[in-house]
Amino acid sequence: MNRKLIYVCILVFFSVSLIAQNKVLDKPWIKENTPTRRVIPYTHVREADVMWHRRIWRTIDLREKINHPLYYPITPIQDRKSLFDVMKEGILEGTITAYSDADDEFTVQLTKAEAKAKMGRYKETKQYDDFGEEIIGAADSTYEEYGSIDVVEYRVKEDWFFDRERSIMDVRIIGLAPALNVIDLNTGESKGKQVLFWIYFPEARYVFANYDVFNRQNDAEKRTYDDVFWKRMFNSYITKRSNVYDRNNKDYLRGLDLILESDNIKEDMFNLEHDMWNF
């Protein structure tokens, strides 16, 4: 009886919300699963049970088709938003904390104003003479907010470890950062990738769990952004692993060697897990 009462209350709540927002019901049913999803808690790990640990940094390239659910839709629609739009909304609402891009150790917390400044740029409009030939000055700068279309990569910081208590190799994502392709406004050439800010992933999970991700096979099987990262439903390549020099792969490798090194690191972890099982 109590469960039925709770179900009825949920239906009434969402019905009233739709009426208050002056929206029609765009489905034969009321969407109630994702908005009320709860985060699956991490299993507690004791330091004494960690037999092996390695910190890994990787890049998710949004140009790859398997990663498109993180990139689209470019413009938010009624039941879906891109990952970057979810992050922006969470930061401006205060449910997600943004940290400086100066490092990935979450040492400098950004205010909402500082984070908003990071999510856009100021563009000067040039003033020309009456003939439209000579530049006589620049007008006031206008703020242009970055959109989902501008974000081309996500940087991921994670910890891989072997838990002796559970006898498994486990992974925990620690940080996530959107990166965009910086274009020179004068020449139109790319100046490389720029990280906007870092977010602490365990905190952001509570927001990611309430936003749907497109499922190519079945619209009825709802997946959230938290599910995508929890189930590792993305493709990426490793750019760094913890080392004595604290350097990235690109600091000492070029071209094809970068890809080969990423594959070598993956293979090393696979072999180590296999050796642990044979131990």
Concatenating the DSSP letter of every residue in 174-207 gives EEEEEEEEEE-TTT--EEEEEE--EEEHHHHHHH
Contact partners, residue 179, CB within 8 Å, separation at least 6: 59, 151, 152, 153, 154, 155, 193, 194, 195, 196
- In whole angstroms, what is the distance from residue 151 CA to residue 62 CA? 8
Question: What confidence tens digit (pLDDT) does each residue in 155-176 have?
Answer: 999 999 999 999 999 999 999 9
Using the structure block, give the residue that is written with the tokens 């908005």.
35
Mean pLDDT of 165-192: 87
CB burial class (10 A; 0-12, 13-18, 19+) of residue 81? Answer: buried
Q: Domain locations in the chain?
A: 1-32, 46-278
- In whole angstroms, what is the distance from residue 21 CA to residue 7 CA? 21
Mean pLDDT of 119-144: 68
Residue 21 reports pLDDT greater than 60: no
> Do 33 and 40 touch, CB atoms closer than 8 A?
no
> Do 39 and 209 touch, CB atoms closer than 8 A?
yes
> Do 185 and 157 touch, CB atoms closer than 8 A?
no
Mean pLDDT of 221-248: 94
Amino acid in the structure at residue 160: W
Question: What confidence tens digit (pLDDT) does each residue in 87-104 have?
Answer: 999 999 999 999 999 999
Neighbours of 197 (CB within 10 A): 21
Mean pLDDT of 10-14: 53
- In whole angstroms, what is the distance from residue 164 CA to residue 2 CA? 42
* Between 54 and 141, the higher pLDDT residue: 54
- As given in the structure block, the two tokens for residue 189 are 């050439």
Neighbours of 160 (CB within 10 A): 17
